[in-house]
């Protein structure tokens, strides 16, 4: 696309969903349990996801103005990458594209949804805390407080207007991905102490021994 910009770089109740990993796929098998082909696809997909330190993750994405075949292809590629990475959400920033585009599929039985130029119109007063991970932050799992329900306006990849009401995991994923589009990471939504622990976990996950431990306990939280 012409406008495409790529860069090399209160005590709330606990969620009824339990600990939720956003953006890795809920219920995904441990890395060590994946068949070789699936693991190879996952590893290849994760290599294409921008990680902490890349400036694109701190940039604010720009609104999409053209709804054309290029945008539809962008959404298709993002959905494919998200699935290959065993994720449930992905924002365009995470693949180096500064468009206000996100894709998500909170549950396996859901269809893939693309939100272009999403705007959160309202949120519930009720808050929930759940554990989140992020494909751009390997090994990081932190408890994040968010509104339990949201109303969002957006367009789909063909330019049709959308109005969504989401709750639970879907609401959490949408908020997580819109944060990405605004240059906000889950590290920005936790205490300083928790942030230090998260950074330490990420460093350990990137070491060979940490990778082995991650493989034994579950999928990496990278997106």
Summarised one tens digit per residue, pLDDT across range 9-54 is 333 333 334 333 455 555 555 666 788 888 898 889 999 999 999 9
| Tens digit of each residue's pLDDT (9 = 90 or more) over 194-208 | 999 999 988 887 776
List active site positions.
177
What sections of 1-160 are H helices per DSSP? 36-47, 69-84
- Specify the pTM: 0.81
Q: What number of other Cβ atoms are within 10 A of residue 218's Cβ? A: 17
The fraction of the chain above a pLDDT of 90, given in percent, is 68
Question: H or E element: which one contains 152?
Answer: strand 149-155
| 3-state SS, residue 58 | helix
Residue 12 DSSP one-character state: P
Residue whose C-alpha is closest to residue 153's, from 172, 144, 166: 166
Residue 213 predicted with pLDDT over 70: no
Given this model, what pLDDT does residue 7 score? 33
Map out the domains of the chain with their CATH numbers: 31-217 (3.90.45.10)
pLDDT digit string (tens) for 73-107?
A: 999 999 999 999 999 999 999 999 999 999 999 99
With 50 as the cut, is the pLDDT of residue 164 above it? yes
Give the mean model confidence (pLDDT) for residues 213-217: 37
């Amino acid at each position: 696309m012409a406008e495409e910009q790529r860069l090399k770089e209160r005590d709330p109740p606990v969620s009824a969903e339990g600990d939720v990993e956003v953006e890795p796929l809920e219920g995904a098998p441990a890395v060590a349990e994946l068949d070789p082909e699936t693991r190879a696809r996952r590893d290849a997909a994760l290599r294409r996801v921008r990680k902490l330190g890349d400036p694109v993750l701190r940039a604010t994405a720009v609104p999409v103005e053209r709804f054309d075949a290029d945008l539809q292809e962008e959404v298709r590629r993002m959905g494919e990458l998200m699935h290959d990475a065993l994720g449930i959400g992905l924002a365009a920033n995470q693949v180096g594209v500064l468009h206000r585009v996100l894709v998500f599929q909170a549950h396996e039985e859901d269809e893939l949804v693309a939100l272009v130029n999403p705007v959160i119109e309202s949120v519930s007063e009720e808050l929930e805390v759940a554990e989140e991970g992020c494909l751009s932050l390997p090994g990081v799992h932190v408890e994040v407080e968010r509104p339990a329900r949201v109303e969002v306006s957006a367009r789909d990849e063909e330019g049709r207007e959308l109005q969504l009401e989401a709750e639970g995991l879907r609401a959490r994923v949408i908020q997580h991905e819109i944060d990405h589009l605004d240059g906000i990471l889950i590290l920005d939504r936790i205490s300083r102490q928790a942030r230090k622990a998260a950074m330490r976990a990420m460093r350990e996950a990137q070491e060979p021994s940490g990778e082995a431990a991650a493989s034994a306990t579950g999928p990496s939280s990278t997106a």
